[in-house]
């Protein structure tokens, strides 16, 4: 047994020592695998159902006879039954959107925008185009409704911060804990 393993190792070393022989071996293995898979596919031909000539078609009226040469009329609706591009509510239920779909809330003097800013969290700022605020990607010009009913607009995205505007006042939301006016 040990002698056979030794012979196999020597044979492997001889094959891999020369580049041309090793390339030829790899090419022959690839061709052999290709033919082997084709043989498997050809051996396992999918079975198909064939109708026999003596089988009669089932008709709506049992007294009518079926003529194999006559064309079969198929009635199709003029409009599609369903929209193939419509998203199914069963598989993709609608979630609450806290963005552009909500009406802009009116700002009142009783609500302090700085308190609303403290509730917001800036997670990432990629000047000048993207910022991640409270888990949602924002761009300049987008509106951010707050929990208190105020609506902030992203004016500018700067390094490690975002400039927000609410009722003609600008505020800076930073990645650190302090938010400035």
Sheet with 122-126, strands from edge to edge, namely 122-126, 130-133, 136-138
Grade residue 103 by pLDDT with cuts at 50, 70 and 90: very low
Give the model's pLDDT for residue 153.
93
**Is residue 97 one of the residues assigned to a domain?**
no
Residue 128 inside a domain? The answer is yes
Q: Is residue 93 one of the residues assigned to a domain?
A: no
The sign of the torsion formed by the CA atoms of 16, 20, 24, 26 equals positive
**Number of domains into which the chain is organized:** 2
DSSP E strands, the chain: 122-126, 130-133, 136-138, 143-145, 151-158, 161-166, 169-174
**Does 73 map to a domain?**
no
Query: Looking at the predicted structure, is the pLDDT value of residue 10 above 70?
Result: yes
Q: How confident is the model at residue 73 (pLDDT cuts 50, 70, 90)?
A: confident
Kindly list the distances between the CA atom of residue 94 and the CA atoms of 89, 97, 148, in Å, as whole numbers in the listed order.
Answer: 7, 9, 24
Q: Is residue 30 part of a domain?
A: yes
Residue 59: inside a domain, yes or no? no
Q: What is the pLDDT of residue 77?
A: 78
pTM over 0.85: no
The domain containing residue 9 runs over which residues?
A: 2-43
Tell me if 49 is assigned to some domain: no
Structure tokens at 104: 């802009």
Residue 118 lies in a domain: yes
């Amino acid at each position: 047994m040990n002698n056979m393993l030794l012979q196999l190792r020597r044979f492997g070393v001889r094959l891999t020592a020369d580049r041309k022989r090793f390339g030829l071996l790899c090419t022959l293995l690839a061709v052999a695998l290709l033919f082997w898979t084709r043989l498997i596919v050809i051996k396992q031909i999918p079975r198909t159902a064939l109708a026999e000539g003596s089988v009669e078609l089932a008709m709506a009226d049992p007294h009518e006879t079926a003529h194999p040469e006559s064309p079969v009329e198929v009635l199709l609706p003029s409009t599609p039954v369903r929209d193939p591009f419509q998203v199914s509510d069963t598989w993709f239920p609608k979630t609450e959107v806290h963005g552009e779909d909500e009406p802009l809330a009116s700002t009142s003097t009783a609500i302090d925008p700085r308190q609303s800013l403290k509730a917001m969290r800036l997670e990432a700022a990629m000047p000048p185009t993207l910022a991640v605020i409270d888990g949602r990607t924002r761009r300049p010009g987008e509106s951010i409704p707050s929990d208190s009913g105020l609506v902030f607009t992203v004016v500018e995205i700067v390094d490690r911060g975002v400039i927000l505007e609410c009722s003609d006042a600008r505020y800076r939301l930073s990645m650190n804990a302090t938010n400035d006016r």
